[in-house]
């Protein structure tokens, strides 16, 4: 598209705010179609990733809404569509943005935001490695197809490790930042 990283960040922020302000499902559907069109070749990979990322959340929210709205007698299909399309669009834009923009380059010149982005990206890399290692170790340890209960236990252990790691890393990072004078005013 020829936009700089900062331009892309601004475009993403504008699109995300606009998607949050629009309350008409048809417009969101058109916006999603436009985003898919503009995303080029990786559009289906991004859409696939988006749908997997939101399926549990959207189903839970949608199911909850259907139950409660039906019980209260004010079920609206438009609202259900609006909520789902908005989440799909925002998450798709997020993945598209993440795959095309160097966040650190986009934030260059804004030290606080750059620092926060560096911390977040560092944490994300650590978590990505943990998730990958858990997946590979589980594969490696299973000569036969694992049972559902084993998968659930593995997922729970993974969640616990991520939580512990995020707490430990958070504490460590805060101490390191304090040690380097970040909080000294």
Q: Which residues bind another protein (CB under 8 A)?
A: 130, 133-134, 136-146, 150, 153-154, 156-158, 160-161
Token pair belonging to 36: 């898919």
Minimum distance between the CB of residue 110 and another protein, rounded to whole angstroms?
Answer: 25
Picking from 178, 128, 134, 125, the residue whose alpha carbon sits closest to that of residue 157 is 134
Nearer to another protein by Cβ, of 24 and 133: the residue is 133
Q: Closer to another protein by CB, 112 or 140: give it.
A: 140
CB nearer to another protein: pick between 7 and 159: 159
CB 132 within 8 Å of CB 148: no
* 166, 131 Cβ separation under 8 angstroms: no
Least distance (Å) between residue 52 CB and another protein: 17
Helices (H), 107-147: 111-140
- Separation between Cα atoms, residue 38 and residue 102, nearest integer Å: 19
**For residue 54, which of 101, 13, 15, 89 has the smallest C-alpha distance?**
89
Closer CB to another protein, residue 76 or residue 151?
Answer: 151
DSSP letter assigned to residue 182: T
Q: Give me the least distance between CB of 141 and another protein, in Å please.
A: 6
85-101: b or e for each residue (b if 16 or more CB lie within 10 Å)? bbbbbbbbbebbbeeeb
Q: How far is the CB of 148 from another protein (least distance, A)?
A: 13
**Residue among 110 and 132 whose Cβ is closer to another protein:** 132
CB of 136 to another protein, least distance (A): 4
Q: Which is nearer to another protein, 113 or 130 (CB)?
A: 130
Least Å distance, CB 135 to another protein, is 9
User: How many Cα neighbours within 13 Å face the side chain of 147?
Assistant: 3
């Amino acid at each position: 598209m020829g936009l700089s990283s900062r331009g892309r960040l601004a475009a993403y922020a504008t699109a995300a705010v606009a998607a949050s302000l629009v309350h008409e499902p048809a417009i969101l559907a058109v916006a999603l179609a436009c985003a898919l069109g503009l995303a080029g070749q990786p559009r289906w990979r991004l859409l696939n990733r988006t749908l997997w990322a939101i399926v549990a959340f959207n189903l839970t929210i949608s199911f909850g809404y259907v139950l409660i709205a039906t019980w209260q007698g004010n079920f609206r299909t438009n609202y259900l569509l609006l909520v789902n399309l908005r989440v799909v669009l925002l998450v798709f834009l997020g993945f598209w943005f993440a795959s095309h923009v160097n966040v650190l380059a986009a934030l260059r010149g804004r030290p606080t935001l750059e620092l926060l982005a560096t911390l977040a990206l560092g944490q994300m890399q650590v978590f990505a490695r943990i998730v990958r290692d858990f997946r590979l170790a589980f594969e490696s340890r299973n000569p036969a197809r694992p049972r559902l209960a084993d998968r659930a236990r593995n997922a729970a252990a993974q969640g616990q490790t991520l939580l512990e790691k995020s707490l430990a890393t958070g504490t460590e990072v805060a101490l390191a930042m304090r040690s380097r004078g970040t909080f000294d005013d």
